[in-house]
Copies of this chain bind each other. A is one copy, B any other.
Amino acid sequence: MWPNRTLLDLLGIDLPIIQAPMAGANGSSMAIAASEAGGLGSLPCAMLDVDKVRAEIGVIRQQTSKPINANFFCHTPAKPDAAAENIWRDEFQPYYEEMGLDASLVAPSPARAPFDDKMCTLVEELVPEVVSFHFGLPDKKLLNRVKAKGCIVIASATSAAEAMWLEDHGCDAIIAQGYEAGGHRGMFLTTDITTQAGTFALIPQVVDAVSLPVIAAGGIADGRGIAAAFALGAAGAQIGTGYLLTPESMISDLHRDALRSATDDQTALTNVFSGKPARGLMNRVMREVGPMSDKAPGFPSAGGALAPLKAKAEGAGLVDFSSLWSGQAAGLAVEMGAGELTQKLAKEAADILAKLGGQAS
Contacts and interface: CB of A to CB of B under 8 A. Distances in A.
A6 to B, nearest CB: 13
Contacts of A199: 198-201
A134 to B, nearest CB: 18
Interface string A247-285: 000000000000000011111110000000000001000
A328 B231 contact: no
Identical chains bound together, number: 2
Contacts of A265: 158-161, 190, 195-197
Contact of A264 (B201, B225, B327, B359): B201
A360 B1 contact: yes
A224 to B, nearest CB: 5
A352 B231 contact: yes
A201 B160 CA distance: 20
Contact of A200 (B200, B269, B360): B200
Contacts of A227: 231-232, 356
Contacts of A327: 201
A194 B161 contact: no
A172 interface: no
A286 to B, nearest CB: 9
A108 interface: no
A116 to B, nearest CB: 30
15 contacts: A2-B360, A160-B264, A180-B201, A195-B265, A195-B266, A198-B198, A201-B329, A204-B225, A205-B263, A205-B332, A230-B356, A350-B360, A356-B357, A357-B359, A358-B361
